[in-house]
A and B are shown apart, each in its own frame.
Chain A
Amino acid sequence: MTADTESGMSRATDPAARKSVPATVRRWQRLRSAALVLTTQCALLAVLLGFWHYMTTNNKQAAFMFGSPLAIAGFLEQMIKDGSLWRDSCVTGVETVLGFLVGNLIGTITGLSLWYSRFVSRVVEPFVIALGSIPIIALAPIIIIWFGTGLISKVAMSTLSVVIVALVTSYKGAVGVDADQINLMRTLGASKFQIFRKLIVPASLTDIFAGLKLTVGFALIGAIVGEFMSSSEGLGHAIFKAGSLYIIPKVFAALVATIALALLLTSVVGRIERFLMPWRRVH
């Protein structure tokens, strides 16, 4: 309708013009900086392992106390060959994922729905703080009495480690939504449920995902602590057993597997985040 407006505006920032030539250049720059970071990380790891190796090769006592990288690699190979690494990782992985899902589901739904009622959230607040301050490890003996020594008790430990953090981060996200934005929804005629669904939930996603990334680690810790207390399989069990037998390199080998599991789960969460929040990919 307004010819002058249209030409003046779209000439300045034409979407096609912005994308054309410099995009490939920019992608190269991004790749180069990513490669630089990766190289530095690898170099740092190599230096660390080299130092470790050097300190433990000519010193039997140090080799016993700290294990050597080669011995750790040897145990990893052996654990891969006899299938125990895969089995233990799967067991711990399943416990962690289940605890992570259940804890975040309960925590996030509770946290978001607390947005609905200021009254309820104020009533609940001290209880949440009290629950959050309990060290989960203190609950482990009770959990085992209640849920037995199998899978359920580990999932329960994992869930408990996650649920309060998930609740607090999602509630924080929900109440942090701009009041003007809520007013705008109201002037558009939105009901409270529509405001919740179309504004509060998506606006809280950033905080929810920050919580998810944080709780991956917590879920894993919960599962491993559960395995420490009483178990017959899992990475926590392997660590505990090797530790009691003073096979330090095997402890480290199981720890390497634990770290790999944590990195894998974190990257999965990151991928889901990028998939669910495409608008944040653009910058």
Chain B
Amino acid sequence: MTGELRGSSPGKAPPTGGPNADRVIPLVVEHVAKSYDVGDRVVPVIGDLSLALDNSQIVSIVGPSGCGKTTLLNTLCGLLTPDSGRISWYGRAIIGQPQNVGYMLQKDLLLPWRTAHGNVMLGLEIRGVAANEARDRGRAMLDQLGLHGFADHYPSTLSGGMRQRVALARTLVNEPAVLLLDEPFASLDFQNKLLIESDTAKLVREGGRSLLLITHDVEEAVSLADRVIVLSKRPTQVKAIYDIELGIERTDMMAARDSRDFSKYVRQIWADLDVVLQ
């Protein structure tokens, strides 16, 4: 499935060819630790964390509030440097921002002076994609996410759900091999959330991309992911790992919620979190 990575992002695509292509795991985190200095105290946030994200895999990370999920994400993105441990993107340690990785937060972070279309094209402009091509790809991406007719709207005229869709389009239009999403749907109402989750699952799985989803919504984690990693409270460690097998097409969030084992997983993960919370 990794062959789906289109060649239109020259030089940015990870090595997908060759006999060992599928063995190169996109993201490997080994024994990462990170602490902050608060005044004269050192507060450990991430204790000792190891995880991996495979090609075409969706991994969800859930944990109690304040367990350092966002710190983890910023560390993975190269915005923070870990105190110890190793982060490898495609088998190599990277200084600075990893390439071909899309990043999306709960805040849509749309630029108010750009239209929906302008916001989607931001990444393409930065990478110097030709204007015509950027325009076409931006429009196509908005159409795919059901935003046809809203391309020329400013963010202030769009609803929360639509804004988050634009943010998703801005992330996906760069055709990232890996997506890092930090509670991207947390501020949406249930209906919008299900719809955008389904679209995300479809676009990620059809494109053969990998997705690391940080969330505190256990149902979202189970319905979207192939694997759910439960974190402990600070200093954060891996508490449990669940491989989710629902036995259905994994792009329909309603069907996922209706499937036989769904509530079993959710209950177990809740139990893990409860133990942690005591």
Contacts and interface: CB of A to CB of B under 8 A. Distances in A.
B138 to A, nearest CB: 14
A190 B126 contact: yes
Interface string B104-115: 010101011110
A187 B156 contact: no
B16 to A, nearest CB: 19
Contact of B79 (A183, A188, A205, A279): A183
A183 B161 contact: no
A188 B199 contact: no
A61 B126 CA distance: 72
B97 A189 contact: yes
Contacts of B79: 183, 186-187
Given A15-B153, A183-B79, A279-B112, A189 B126 contact: yes
B99 A189 contact: yes
Contact of B149 (A15, A190, A198): A15
Contacts of B125: 198
B113 A202 contact: yes
A205 B112 CA distance: 12
A210 to B, nearest CB: 16
Interface in B126-178: 126-127, 144, 146, 148-150, 153-157, 159, 161-162, 174
Given A10-B149, A189-B123, A283 B195 contact: no
Contacts of B75: none
Contacts of B265: none
B177 to A, nearest CB: 14
Contacts of A205: 113
Contact of A202 (B101, B111, B126, B144): B111
A282 interface: yes
A184 interface: yes
Given A189-B99, A205-B113, A6 B199 contact: no
B122 interface: yes
A203 B111 CA distance: 8
Contacts of B195: 2, 4-5, 8-9
A198 B105 contact: no
A190 B128 CA distance: 10
B123 A188 contact: yes
Contacts of A145: none
Contact of A279 (B102, B123, B156): B156
Contacts of B97: 186-187, 189
Given A178-B109, A189-B123, A277-B113, A184 B162 contact: no
A278 B152 CA distance: 12
Nearest to B196: A5
Interface in A153-194: 178, 180-181, 183-190, 194
Given A188-B126, A189-B126, A6 B146 contact: yes
B198 interface: yes
Given A183-B77, A187-B103, A189-B127, A2 B202 contact: yes
A2 B146 contact: yes
A1 interface: yes
Interface in A3-43: 4-6, 8-10, 12-15
A143 interface: no
Contact of A180 (B107, B157, B162): B107
A279 B113 contact: yes
B74 interface: yes
B101 A198 contact: no
Interface in B164-222: 174, 191, 195, 198-199, 202
Contacts of B153: 15
A229 interface: no
24 contacts: A1-B146, A1-B199, A2-B146, A2-B195, A2-B198, A2-B202, A4-B195, A5-B195, A5-B198, A6-B148, A8-B195, A9-B146, A10-B148, A184-B103, A184-B105, A184-B109, A186-B79, A187-B101, A188-B122, A188-B123, A203-B113, A279-B154, A282-B156, A283-B156
Q: Which 10 A-B pairs have the closest CB atoms?
A: A6-B146, A187-B103, A188-B123, A279-B154, A5-B195, A5-B146, A190-B126, A202-B113, A279-B113, A184-B109
Interface of A: 1-2, 4-6, 8-10, 12-15, 178, 180-181, 183-190, 194, 198-199, 202-203, 205, 277-280, 282-283
Interface of B: 74, 77, 79, 97, 99, 101-103, 105, 107, 109, 111-114, 122-123, 125-127, 144, 146, 148-150, 153-157, 159, 161-162, 174, 191, 195, 198-199, 202
Given A1-B202, A4-B195, A187-B77, 5 more contacts: A9-B146, A9-B161, A13-B162, A184-B105, A279-B113
